[in-house]
Structure 1
Amino acid sequence: MYEQTFSRTNPGLIVFLLDRSDSMKRDWGNSRGTLAQGAARALNKILLDLCIKSTKEVGGSARHYFDVGVFGYGACPVAGGEGVESALGGALAGQPIVPIPQLFTSPLKVAEEESIDAMPGARIPVWVEPVFGYRTPMCQAIAVAGGHVYDWAAAHPHSFPPIVINITDGLVTDDPFDGAGLAEWASRLTSIATSDGNALLLNIFLAADGSPEVLFPVTPNGLPQPGPQLFDISSPLPKTMVANARASLVNVPDGARGFVFNAGLATLVKFLEIGTRVGEIRDR
Structure 2
Amino acid sequence: MSKVSVLVVDDASFIRDLVKNCLRNYFPGIRIEDAVNGRKAQALLTREPFDLVLCDWEMPEMSGLELLTWCREQDRLKALPFIMVTSRGDKENVIQAIQAGVSDFVSKPFTNEQLLTKVKKAFTKAGLLNAVMASAPVRTSTGLANDSLSALTGGKAQVVTPSAPSRPTAAAAPVARPASQTPTGRGQGQLRLPTGIQPCVIKALSLKEALLVVRRGDELPQILASAVLDLEQGERAEVARLNGYLHAIVAYEPKPDSDWLQLTFRFVDQDAEKMNYLSRLIAHGTAQKQFVPGA
Q: Do both share a fold (TM > 0.5)?
A: no
Higher relative contact order (CA 8 A, sep 6+): 1
- Structure ranking higher in strand proportion: 2
TM-score (norm 1): 0.35
Rg bigger for which structure? 2
